[in-house]
A and B are shown apart, each in its own frame.
Chain A
Amino acid sequence: SAVISQKPSRDICQRGTSLTIQCQVDSQVTMMFWYRQQPGQSLTLIATANQGSEATYESGFVIDKFPISRPNLTFSTLTVSNMSPEDSSIYLCSSRAGGIDTQYFGPGTRLTVL
């Protein structure tokens, strides 16, 4: 299985500011995924991050609001820009382990925007 860590685990931010979330995987992976989980809701994919190329965003999510970096095969960042209270959510990264389909999740970052 893959071991995935995220930083920070939680943060409280003021509206209009930005927060960068880091995701580290303990092995090299081709794809990393970023999800948002609003309170009491399911997981919604924000974007898929491939190393060496631009991230692919899902409908309703744009690069200006959620810029993603993928500098190497074990690390990715998601920035939540110009935050508003509606951005208050848990943000999770995930990735597969080895050549199998199973996706493992990081512990999540609980973001509260005041």
Chain B
Amino acid sequence: GENVEQHPSTLSVQEGDSAVIKCTYSDSASNYFPWYKQELGKRPQLIIDIRSNVGEKKDQRIAVTLNKTAKHFSLHITETQPEDSAVYFCAASQGSSNFGNEKLTFGTGTRLTIIP
């Protein structure tokens, strides 16, 4: 089955600096890679996702890059703000195109702290 590794487990950055979180996956059949943000006591919320036919995707201060050959993908947050403080999870799946294999396998999470 799929195995997703995530680094670092904790990350502290000064407000206004950039943060990068990296994930690797093992199953070459995976083709959908979402990132979730989970604030304390809240449900995971999707912040950005990428599919294997795209190498990079950006949404305002958040971007995700994917290297299918190396089987790794990264989350980039620029101009960090205090409200970016949360736990971030990467995940991988074979997507809805492969019925029965849509399940998400999550990374271990990164606790991001933005220092004012």
- Cβ B51 vs Cβ A101 within 8 A: yes
- Cβ B96 vs Cβ A99 within 8 A: yes
A44 to B107, CA, bound (A): 10
- Cβ A43 vs Cβ B106 within 8 A: yes
Find the A residue at minimum CB distance from B102.
Answer: A31
Find the B residue at minimum CB distance from A30.
Answer: B99
Give residues 59-114 of B contacting A (CB, 8 Å): 89, 93, 95-96, 99, 102-109
Q: CB of B115 within 8 A of chain A?
A: no
Minimum Cβ distance to chain A for residue B34 (Å):
7
- Cβ A101 vs Cβ B43 within 8 A: no
Q: Interface digits, A26-66 against B, CB 8 Å rule (1 contact, 0 not)? A: 00001101000000011111001000000000110000000
Q: Binding site of B, secondary structure by majority: helix, strand, loop or mixed?
A: loop
- Cβ A42 vs Cβ B51 within 8 A: no
- Cβ A106 vs Cβ B102 within 8 A: no
With beta carbons under 8 angstroms apart, the residue of A42, A48, A58, A108 that contacts B109 is A42
A100 to B97, CA, bound (A): 9
A110 to B62, CA, bound (A): 30
List chain B residues, Cβ under 8 A from A92.
Answer: 43-44
For A42, A92, A105, A107, which residue has the most chain B Cβ atoms within 10 angstroms? Answer: A42
A94 to B44, CA, bound (A): 10
Find the A residue at minimum CB distance from B97.
Answer: A101
Find the B residue at minimum CB distance from A104.
Answer: B46
With beta carbons under 8 angstroms apart, the residue of B32, B103, B108 that contacts A33 is B103
Answer whether A48 and B96 are a contact pair too, CB < 8 Å, given A101-B49, A104-B46, A106-B43: no
Minimum Cβ distance to chain B for residue A32 (Å):
11
- Cβ A108 vs Cβ B43 within 8 A: yes
A43 to B45, CA, bound (A): 13
- Cβ B104 vs Cβ A45 within 8 A: yes
Find the A residue at minimum CB distance from B101.
Answer: A48
Chain B residues engaging chain A, CB cutoff 8 angstroms: 1, 32, 34, 42-46, 49, 51, 89, 93, 95-96, 99, 102-109
